[in-house]
Structure 1
Amino acid sequence: MKASIALQILPLSHSADRLQVIEKVIAYLQKQPVNQVVTPFETVLEGEWEELMLILKTAIELAGSEADNIFANVKINYGQILSIEEKIEKYHS
């Protein structure tokens, strides 16, 4: 089944370089074979449910390996979704 997720990683650890943690997660996400867009507040990915859940799990674990405390804000749309392009095309004319 199709799904889309919006992921925001917020490192809460004071001992880690917060921006570096976020950049590592984005670099990982950009290597994934799913449609995606990086925005100032979150990265949105769309694809098959099982594939996205594995990507999500790995992204959170990656962030957790870089900082001792992270917050992951996740929004999930499951089922007959609108694509990223369908959601934003009228705003990018």
Structure 2
Amino acid sequence: MEDLDEAIGLDREALDLRPKGHPDWSGSLSNLAIRLSTRYNQLGVMEDVDGAIVLNREALHLRPKGHPHRSSSLATLLFISPPATSVSAS
């Protein structure tokens, strides 16, 4: 778990170092989303999966149809979505 927390911290640092218009910004968002999702799967903290979904949706927005990494963003969004049974009704 310590290594995962460190990786999340480094992913956040990478986002801080890259301006939003950077060509790899969407990749950094996706990387952080995947790590937060992994931590959610281990600890079950909804804030992690919520954050992962928000970050990956932003990455997906930056990868329109025809972008070479759009399909990986779509797959990641499917992977990080919590099971329907864990989503509370609003």
**TM bucket normalised to smaller:** 0.3 to 0.5
Which protein, 1 or 2, shows the higher relative CO under an 8 Å CA cutoff with sep ≥ 6? 1
Q: TM (normalized to structure 1)?
A: 0.33
**Higher helix proportion (structure 1 or 2):** 2
**Higher strand proportion (structure 1 or 2):** 1
Q: TM (normalized to structure 2)?
A: 0.33
